[in-house]
């Protein structure tokens, strides 16, 4: 792979592929969830934008938009559909087709092994809390590494382990839909073991490719710099960041983190010396960092542990949507800056967090290569009669965040690439299809899923052209 700066956009298998039961694919936990009574909306990703049948068109449009890289994920259940570990050759052939298109249009693939969509046969045994999940994951990862090799120059083990565990076991809005801090910690730990064991398989092959993990949030911060606020920041970072990043980058947990987790009454008997040894010897080559908003916290005074997320949104333009909040008794709770704008789903729009996140990663982890693997803005897009969307709000968001990302690069952070979330409109977890992130509009009322580039697509193309000297 050349040292060119990578400019691209990103997707995820369940959110865009469709073809949920075609060509030998097995069920994922999201297939099961969306087809169950737990899915109160009835909205599924069964077809979504049908990337499975639009590969050539989508990657061609991406390349025509000036992008030189494409981040996508592989569906584990498309490759290893059942617990018998028999490999589905048609599944491998599909991603060969994706890579063929990438090569045809000179697009660098950045590929994630799991983006929330565990196979259902793993879910039935306890999902990420299943003691055998790391060995199953390592088997699947080895199949992928052996088949695709250096055709994929950038591999990611797991997308957003922190957010995945959080939604699974704190908020409970992702399957298995639990609220259990014990399981959150066990899930996050098992994901760390999964990453390490997959990297061990990766290293055996002597590939030229690189492998990393994607973190879903930035460092915690606060409005005040008092000792009690500093403590809240520390504990929030323990919970949201260090539990994931320290083993991935440093190969070990901070003893203070372990003590803090134990102080919460978490039973750490699931931590095994043999796992820690694998982590120590198998760390990542690069960090993928998703950037959306900051984590603003304050001391927990309520004595309450509670987590909320806004899946309904708010489209009246008032920016008064219910906020996402998180609180752990005695540790921290979410804070609110009244001077900062919220999006329709209650998240802060705070571009400076991009700079702060990247600078803090450099401070804590040195010169590790960093790819901004997701940055985007969900909107209620309104199309004209031709399907064109003038998404000035998205353009403003991306422009402001990119300013701070490039400033961090200028100030010494080893930023190697940037990906807009998302390449095209796709299924948004829980929110369905009203929440749009794409640079390209997908007409879900059209059986052919007509694609129409938005104003942001053309803006991004020009932005890339203007920054070819990076």
Predicted confidence at residue 325, as pLDDT, reads: 86
In the structure encoding, which two tokens stand for residue 81, read together? 């559909």
CA distance readout (Å), 173 to 14, 179, 429: 16, 9, 9
Q: CB under 8 Å to 205, separation ≥6 — which residues?
A: 145, 146, 149
Predicted confidence at residue 119, as pLDDT, reads: 98
pLDDT in tens, 419-446: 999 999 999 998 889 999 999 999 999 9
- Beta-bridge partners for 288: 214, 371
What's the Rg (C-alpha) of the chain? Answer: 21
For residue 28, what are the domain limits?
A: 6-466
Helices (runs of H) and strands (runs of E) counted in the chain: 16, 15
Predicted confidence at residue 346, as pLDDT, reads: 84
Predicted confidence at residue 2, as pLDDT, reads: 54
What is d(CA 220, CA 295) in angstroms, rounded to the nearest whole number?
5
Q: Is residue 262 part of a domain?
A: yes
Q: Is 434 left (phi over 0), alpha (psi -120 to 50) or beta?
A: alpha
Let me know if 110 is exposed, middle or buried by CB neighbors in 10 A (0-12, 13-18, 19+). buried
Predicted confidence at residue 159, as pLDDT, reads: 98
Per-10-residue mean pLDDT of the chain, 470 residues long, equals 86 98 98 94 95 98 98 98 98 98 98 98 97 98 98 98 95 93 96 98 98 96 97 96 96 95 94 98 98 96 87 58 82 94 89 98 98 96 97 98 98 98 95 94 97 98 95
What is d(CA 139, CA 86) in angstroms, rounded to the nearest whole number?
11
Predicted confidence at residue 344, as pLDDT, reads: 86
Predicted confidence at residue 70, as pLDDT, reads: 99
Q: Is residue 378 part of a domain?
A: yes
What is d(CA 442, CA 37) in angstroms, rounded to the nearest whole number?
27
Predicted confidence at residue 285, as pLDDT, reads: 98
| Tally of domains within the chain | 1
Query: Would you please indicate which residues are annotated as catalytic (active-site) residues?
Result: 160, 374
Q: What is the CATH number of the domain that holds 405?
A: 3.20.20.80
Q: Is residue 1 part of a domain?
A: no
CA distance readout (Å), 391 to 15, 65, 432, 436: 21, 16, 19, 10
pTM above 0.85, yes or no: yes
Q: Is residue 302 part of a domain?
A: yes
């Amino acid at each position: 792979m050349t040292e060119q700066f990578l400019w691209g956009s990103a997707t995820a298998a369940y959110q865009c592929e469709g073809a949920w039961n075609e060509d030998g694919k097995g069920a994922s936990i999201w297939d099961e969830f969306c087809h169950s009574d737990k899915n109160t909306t009835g909205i599924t990703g069964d077809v979504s934008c049908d990337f499975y049948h639009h590969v050539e068109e989508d990657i061609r449009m991406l390349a025509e938009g000036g992008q030189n890289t494409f981040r996508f994920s592989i569906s584990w259940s498309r490759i290893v559909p059942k617990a018998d570990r028999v490999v589905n050759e048609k599944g491998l052939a599909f991603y060969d087709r994706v890579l063929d298109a990438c090569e045809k249009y000179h697009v660098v693939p950045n590929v994630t092994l799991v983006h929330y969509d565990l196979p259902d046969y793993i879910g039935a045994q306890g999902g990420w809390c299943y003691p055998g999940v790391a060995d199953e994951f390592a088997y699947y990862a080895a199949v992928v590494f052996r088949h695709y090799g250096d055709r994929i120059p950038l591999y990611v083990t797991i997308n957003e382990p922190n957010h995945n565990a959080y939604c699974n076991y704190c908020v409970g809005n992702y399957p298995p839909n639990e609220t259990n801090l014990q399981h959150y910690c066990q899930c996050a730990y098992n994901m760390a073991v999964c990453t390490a064991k997959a990297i061990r398989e990766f290293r055996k092959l002597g590939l030229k490719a690189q492998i990393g993990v994607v973190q879903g949030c930035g460092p915690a911060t606060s409005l005040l710099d008092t000792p009690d606020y500093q403590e809240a920041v520390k504990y929030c970072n323990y919970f949201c960041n260090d539990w994931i990043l320290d083993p991935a980058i440093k190969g070990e947990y901070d003893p203070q983190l372990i003590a803090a987790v134990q102080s919460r009454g978490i039973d750490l008997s699931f931590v095994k010396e043999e796992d820690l040894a694998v982590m120590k010897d198998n760390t990542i080559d690069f960090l993928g960092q998703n950037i959306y908003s900051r984590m603003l916290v304050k001391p927990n005074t309520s004595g309450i542990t509670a987590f909320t997320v806004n899946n309904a949104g708010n489209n009246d333009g008032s920016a008064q949507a219910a906020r996402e909040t998180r609180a752990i008794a005695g540790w921290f709770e979410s804070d609110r800056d009244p001077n900062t704008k919220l999006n329709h789903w209650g998240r802060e729009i705070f571009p400076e967090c991009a700079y702060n996140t990247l600078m803090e990663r450099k401070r804590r982890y040195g010169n590790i290569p960093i790819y901004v693997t997701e940055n985007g803005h969900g909107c209620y897009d309104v199309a004209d009669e031709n399907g064109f969307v003038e998404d000035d709000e998205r353009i403003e968001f991306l422009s402001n965040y990119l300013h701070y990302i490039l400033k961090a690069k200028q100030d010494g952070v080893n930023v190697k690439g940037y990906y807009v979330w998302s390449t095209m409109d796709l299924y948004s977890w829980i929110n369905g299809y009203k929440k749009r992130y794409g640079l390209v509009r997908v007409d879900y009322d059209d059986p052919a899923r007509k694609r129409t580039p938005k104003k942001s697509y053309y803006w991004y193309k020009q932005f890339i052209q203007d920054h070819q000297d990076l």
